[in-house]
Amino acid sequence: MKEYHNSFEFQINYNAVTKDKLINYFENNNLKIIKDETDLVFEKKWSIFDGWKLNVLNWESNIRVKSVDNHKIVIHHTVKTYGFGVISPIAFSSIFEKYIENLKQYIINNESFEKKNNELVKLGRIKLLKYIVILILGILAGLYFGTVLKNLTHIKLFGYLGIFCGALITQIVINSYLIKINKSKHLV
């Protein structure tokens, strides 16, 4: 399992209008409210195709909004992906941060968010497609080396093993690289 987690906080006057705006914003992005007591919790359920959905805002998400003394809200945002061949949601951390920034501008300045969020989806789609192309190239490289081994040894299993290893190694390398890059950005 790969996970993105971040917390945001900003100053606002938390009231019924703010609560309605929060609900509107997240429900507009297909998140369902699952708790409406002291904290607002929005969730998007897991799907087997999460890692392959081209809209990164549709991956499994959990967003907890907590009011602090009615003058500040704290948002805990978590996105998870599972399975083989999936790109870490950490690669899309800048998109998730802009998504919450759009929420902030909507609440504080009453700015429209639909167009901005659609741009984020397009940006995420392009970025994800780039990683999928790299993953496919890794699979093809594995297929090539597997075929070479199969022809040298006459063991058919090496062909299949090459495809599997190509995909797995490429996924591990991509995700390790993306996590390393993300950590170095946050250290500065």
Provide the whole-model pTM: 0.81
Strands (DSSP E) found in 70-176: 72-81
Tens of pLDDT, residues 1-24: 578 888 999 888 777 788 888 889
What mean pLDDT, rounded, does the chain reach? 85
Contact 55, 96 (CB under 8 A): no
List the strands of the sheet with 32-36, edge to edge.
2-11, 72-81, 60-68, 39-44, 32-36
- Answer for the pair 67, 12: CB distance below 8 angstroms, yes or no: no
pLDDT at 171: 87
Mean pLDDT across 74-96: 81
| Rg over CA atoms, the chain | 20
The identity of residue 142, as a single letter, is: G
Residue 115 burial by Cβ neighbours in a 10 Å radius (0-12, 13-18, 19+): exposed
Specify the residue for token string 């392009």: 126
Q: Read off the pLDDT of residues 131-151 as tens digits, 9 standing for 90 and up.
A: 889 989 999 999 999 999 999
**pLDDT on residue 188:** 45
pLDDT of residue 101: 93
134 versus 184: the higher-pLDDT residue is: 134
- Residue 185: predicted pLDDT: 65
Decide the pairing of beta strands 60-68 and 39-44: antiparallel
CA-to-CA dists, residue 126 to 1, 54, 115, 137, 186, angstroms? 23, 9, 17, 17, 23
Q: Which residue has the higher pLDDT, 117 or 55?
A: 117
pLDDT digits (tens, 9 = 90+) for 28-63: 888 888 876 778 899 988 776 655 667 888 888 899
CA distance 100 to 26: 10
Task: Specify which residues 142 forms β-bridges with.
Answer: none
Is the model's pLDDT at 162 over the cut of 70?
yes
Percentage of the chain exceeding pLDDT 90: 30
